[in-house]
């Protein structure tokens, strides 16, 4: 290290004065000592620190697991120290991944976004000078209109429920637009039946108030009254030991209900999207829908809400024709 510093100082001696040379020497010593410490870290150690940082920021366990698996998969293919990974290496990795797994553009862009988060964190923490993925732009994906439940679909789902719990879940998801992760974390005491509202904790553990309708209130009360357990959770398993229902439990139950009733793609998120679309179609201001859904950016809300084409036609005749 001393030889490297001496060589650099000799090369710069003709263009720098004594004060500048001393400052350069000081900076070089600090930088080389720092780099020596950093080089000792392995790729998995960087990943471990990144995961810890995301956990402190309030990311959900699901999100952290997705980050971790994405980055670990990259390390298994790219056998290069993190600080030496280049843009070209990452481009090649993404291209090969798409070819080997025959996956779509959305999947590739999700991987790109996760890797971008990791390398941006490394840059922010001064482990690397510049994120190598910064020059790999967002993958262009087609904008597809995602399906929502029709009023008839909702009624068929309600009628098809054989358990009071499932009926309460459907109506709570549909009337509040809450995320399934928020649903399973609710306790009975969180529900304010008088005001027909409850507090949920969304992404980043951010608190917000959501509201449910009279139908959801009655089905929730009927379900709670029918229970014989002492669990504080709002929704529990149907069999002993009556444990708090998990996200996967809700997803599987709804998917099976949809298959039984011949309704395609029945999953929790579809209720959320359906609520947002219905609210906008009925004239609720987009800013209020954004508040209900807990979105930071209004663009995200617009992606959820599919504007009914018939309403566009009516509005055209009203305002333009």
Question: Mapped to the 3 state alphabet, what secondary structure does 95-124 carry?
Answer: HHHHHHHCCCHHHHHHHHHHHHHHHHHHHH
Query: Is-contact 289 305, C-beta < 8 A?
Result: yes
- Whether the ω angle into residue 241 lies within 30 degrees of 0, i.e. cis, is yes
Ranges 7-16, 78-87, 286-295: which has the least confidence? 7-16
Query: 33: pLDDT confidence band, cut at 50, 70 and 90?
Result: low
Rounded to two decimals, the pTM is 0.67
List domains and CATH numbers for the chain. 2-39 (no CATH), 43-124 (1.10.150), 151-318 (1.10.443.10)
Residues 212, 297, 180, 243, Cα dihedral to 10°: -100
User: For residue range 218-263, what is the model confidence (pLDDT) as tens digits?
Assistant: 999 999 999 999 999 999 999 999 999 999 999 999 999 999 999 9
Q: Which of 46-55, 58-67, 279-288, 290-299 has the highest mean pLDDT?
A: 46-55
- Mean pLDDT across the chain, nearest whole number? 86
Query: Is-contact 199 209, C-beta < 8 A?
Result: yes
Judged on CB neighbours under 10 Å (0-12, 13-18, 19+), 93 is: middle
Q: Which residues partner with 233 through β-bridges?
A: 187
Question: For 216, what's the count of Cα atoms within 13 Å in the CB-facing half-sphere?
Answer: 22
pLDDT > 80? residue 139: no
Helices 61-77 + 43-56 axis angle, to 10? 160
Nearest Cα residue to 250 out of 312, 170, 187, 304: 170
Q: Which residues contact 92 (CB under 8 A, 6 or more apart)?
A: none
How far apart are the C-alpha atoms of 183 and 60, rounded to whole Å?
14
Residue % of the chain over a pLDDT of 90: 55
């Amino acid at each position: 290290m001393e030889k490297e510093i001496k060589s650099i100082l000799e090369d710069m001696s003709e263009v720098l004065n004594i004060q500048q040379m001393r400052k350069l020497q000081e900076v070089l010593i600090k930088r080389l000592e720092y780099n020596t410490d950093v080089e000792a870290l392995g790729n998995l150690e960087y990943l471990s620190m990144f995961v810890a940082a995301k956990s402190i920021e309030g990311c959900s366990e699901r999100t952290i697991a997705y980050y971790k698996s994405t980055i670990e998969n990259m390390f298994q293919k790219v056998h290069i120290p993190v600080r030496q990974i280049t843009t070209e290496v990452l481009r090649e990795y993404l291209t090969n991944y798409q070819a080997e797994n025959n996956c779509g553009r959305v999947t590739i862009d999700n991987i790109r976004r996760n890797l971008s988060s990791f390398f941006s964190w490394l840059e922010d923490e001064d482990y690397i000078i510049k994120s190598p993925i910064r020059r790999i732009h967002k993958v262009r994906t087609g904008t597809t209109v995602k399906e929502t439940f029709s009023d008839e679909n909702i009624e068929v789902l309600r009628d098809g429920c054989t358990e009071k719990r499932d009926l309460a879940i459907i109506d709570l998801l549909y009337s509040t637009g809450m995320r399934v992760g928020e649903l399973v974390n609710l306790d009975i005491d969180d529900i304010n039946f008088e005001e027909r509202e409850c507090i949920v904790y969304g992404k980043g553990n951010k608190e917000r108030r959501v509201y449910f309708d009279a139908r959801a209130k009655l089905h929730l009360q009927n379900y709670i009254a029918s229970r014989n357990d002492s669990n504080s959770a709002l929704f529990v398993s149907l069999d002993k030991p009556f444990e708090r229902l998990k996200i996967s439990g809700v997803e599987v139950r709804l998917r099976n209900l949809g298959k039984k009733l011949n309704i395609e793609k029945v999953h929790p998120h579809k209720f959320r999207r359906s609520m947002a679309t219905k609210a906008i179609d009925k004239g609720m201001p987009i800013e209020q829908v954004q508040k209900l859904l807990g979105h930071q950016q209004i663009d995200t809300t617009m992606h959820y809400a599919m504007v009914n084409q018939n309403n566009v036609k009516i509005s055209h005749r009203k305002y333009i024709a």
